[in-house]
Structure 1
């Protein structure tokens, strides 16, 4: 699998074909197309909820920095990494 790079200026939105459900307190995403499921921790689940409508990655990061206690640069790196992995698995759509 080729890693897709997602930058701060990109816009991301959830793939409407991905099913989501809470199982034992964890948000689980199911890609019917791929026949795979993915689990998200609470922060990953929060990011997923925030992508219900299209959002610029830099704006998403700014909201997370405001809501969570952490280094802004680390938050951005973590978000970009997560979004890149989600894009690789077609869980989100990315436009530059």
Structure 2
């Protein structure tokens, strides 16, 4: 998925912070997913209604990371979210 794609978060996903990680629980499948601090903050921003690009821009300000690397990592993360059914395209 691209950062410009539209999607909907699954209503079956519950997120909780555990230490430095954010844990996602897919209630439909019973599967847990662990996110590092950047991934967890990205998920929270998406839950708060930001678009992936808006979240990306805020993450660029908060973390010392090259834009190209962040774009690639967030696109991959969105693809993993979609593959696991945590988000639905469209």
TM-score by length of 2: 0.83
> Which residue of structure 2 lines up, in the alignment, with residue 18 of structure 1?
13
Aligned to 1:51, what secondary structure does the other structure show?
A: helix
Structure 1 equivalent of residue 71 of structure 2: 76
Quote how far apart the aligned CAs of 1:25 are. Answer: 4.0
For the 8 Å contact 2:2–2:78, the answer to whether it is kept is no
Structure 1 unpaired stretches of 5+ = 1-5
| Partners of 1:70 and 1:23 in 2: CA distance | 24
Coordinate RMSD, CA, aligned: 1.8
Task: Please report the TM-score for the alignment, with normalisation by the length of structure 1.
Answer: 0.79
Q: State the match for 2:56 in structure 1.
A: 61
The total of aligned residue pairs comes to 90
Which residue of structure 1 lines up, in the alignment, with residue 24 of structure 2? 29
Structure 1 residue 26 displacement after superposition: 2.3
Q: Which 4+ stretches in 1 moved above 4 angstroms?
A: none
What runs of 5+ residues in structure 2 fail to find an aligned partner?
Answer: none
CA contact (8 A) 2:3 2:52 kept: yes
